Amino acid sequence: MSDDLKKGLEGVLVAESGLSSIDGDAGRLIYRGYTIEDLARGASYEEVLYLLWNGHLPTEDELEPFADALMEEREVSEDVLATMERLAAADEEPMAALRTAVSMFSATEPETDADPDDLEATLRKGRRITAKIPTALAAFERYRLGEEPVDPHPDLGLAANFLYMLTGEVPGDIAAETFDQALILHADHGLNASTFTSMVIGSTMADIYSAVTGGISALSGPLHGGANQDVMEVLIEIDESDLDHREWVEQATEEGRRIPGFGHRVYNVKDPRAKILQERSEELANNGESKWYKYTTTIEQYLSEEKGLTEKGIAPNVDFYSGSVYYQLGIPIDMYTPIFAMSRAGGWIAHVLEYQEDNRLIRPRARYTGPEDQEFVPIEER
């Protein structure tokens, strides 16, 4: 057994997976062999969920009942809605509200007594979680606005339905397609912190509700989720500044400020997901407000070319463009990370199911650095 210490498990292989693969030097991401570009531009989020959970892209005859099953599971209980209302009134953080909601979903689970080894039952539970998350999130946001929740739309896919439940209005084609793409882009990404957390929980054969709740908890940390929120806050700061956006970024970098959305633990080149969202941001700009797209492209050009970050392996990641895309869609800034969780839940569930097919309890060890041979002193003598 090696005594080499790998902080953060960096470079340590802990599992085999056929779900997603990342080539950080080439800027390549694939789900089960399909490039992220092909999936984002040619498939729906429901098709990608099917792919991750079943191993192949669905035919039309397979997709229809799969999508229908998701639609049938969208409703959440009155208890969940009441809790979302109370949490909204208490000004709870959206990620904390989501964590609570997912944990509560299990109270109405019809297969709660299923054997932990019954992976088909686990998949059905995962489908229910995935279907209900958008409903609970949208209800929480509506309650924060002092409005009643909007019931799920029976004829809309998961992405369009979420936007509908936020506003009460059926989204336009561009908005629905853009958000659907964003969900696809965030569905899986190797053994990141939240995915690994879900797998660790799943390796104990705890239920999938526990695994997804754990993934949400890991994603809520600022070192994992939240970067796109940081990006949007910077863009708003630029917009409210007296400086031209080019002058602002020059001054900020001269002062040593770090611009969020640049650099990635895996990618040494531009994140392929960022390229796709940049295209969507431009399309949204051409059909509405263009300044956010101008700001992001100016910052990218300045930092990549003039400051030489690309040559140093520091390039835009998915968060750099997702923030402004969500803002252009009218989504509240503090809902960005919960939306990340809404998408990534599909990947968490897929990884748990895959790992449990040949399960082994995940149990690493730590190097002890504490004292040795301490003499015990009874409490009355200390």
- Tens-digit pLDDT profile for residues 288-346: 888 999 999 998 988 887 777 777 888 889 999 999 999 999 999 999 999 999 999 99
- Tens-digit pLDDT profile for residues 79-93: 999 999 999 999 999
Average pLDDT score over the chain: 94
List the one residue out of 239, 180, 229, 186 whose CA is nearest residue 327: 229
pLDDT of residue 261: 87
Apex 312 CA angle, 307 and 315, nearest 5: 75
266 has pLDDT over 60: yes
3-state DSSP call for residue 23? strand
244 has pLDDT over 80: yes
Mean pLDDT computed over 43-63: 98
Catalytic site residues?
264, 319
CA distance 331 to 318: 17
- Tens-digit pLDDT profile for residues 6-30: 788 888 889 999 999 999 999 999 9
pLDDT of residue 191: 94
Q: Where are the domains of the chain?
A: 33-221+335-357, 227-329
Percent of the chain with pLDDT over 90: 79
Structure tokens at 130: 């995935």
**Confidence band of 122 (pLDDT split at 50, 70, 90):** very high
3-state DSSP call for residue 31? strand
CA distance 56 to 35: 14
pLDDT of residue 5: 81
Q: Please tell us whether the domain made up of 33-221+335-357 is placed in CATH 2.60.40.10.
A: no
pLDDT of residue 8: 80
* Contact indicator for 101, 133 with CB cutoff of 8 Å: yes
pLDDT of residue 340: 96
Identify the burial level of 244 via C-beta atoms within 10 angstroms of its C-beta, where 0-12 means exposed, 13-18 middle and 19 or more buried: exposed
> 210 versus 252: which is more confidently predicted?
210
Q: Please tell us whether the domain made up of 227-329 is placed in CATH 1.10.230.10.
A: yes
* Contact indicator for 355, 203 with CB cutoff of 8 Å: yes
Q: Which of 36-50, 175-189, 234-248 has the lowest mean pLDDT?
A: 234-248
Helices (H), the chain: 36-42, 45-54, 60-72, 78-89, 94-105, 119-144, 158-167, 173-185, 193-203, 208-219, 227-240, 245-254, 272-286, 291-301, 318-328, 336-356
CA distance 149 to 249: 40
Q: Which residues contact 92 (CB under 8 A, 6 or more apart)?
A: none
78 has pLDDT over 70: yes
2 has pLDDT over 70: no
**Confidence band of 59 (pLDDT split at 50, 70, 90):** very high
Backbone angles phi, psi at 91, to 5 degrees: 60, 40
**Confidence band of 1 (pLDDT split at 50, 70, 90):** low
pLDDT of residue 4: 80
Q: Which residues contact 228 (CB under 8 A, 6 or more apart)?
A: 261, 318, 319, 320, 322, 323, 326, 336, 337, 340
100 has pLDDT over 90: yes
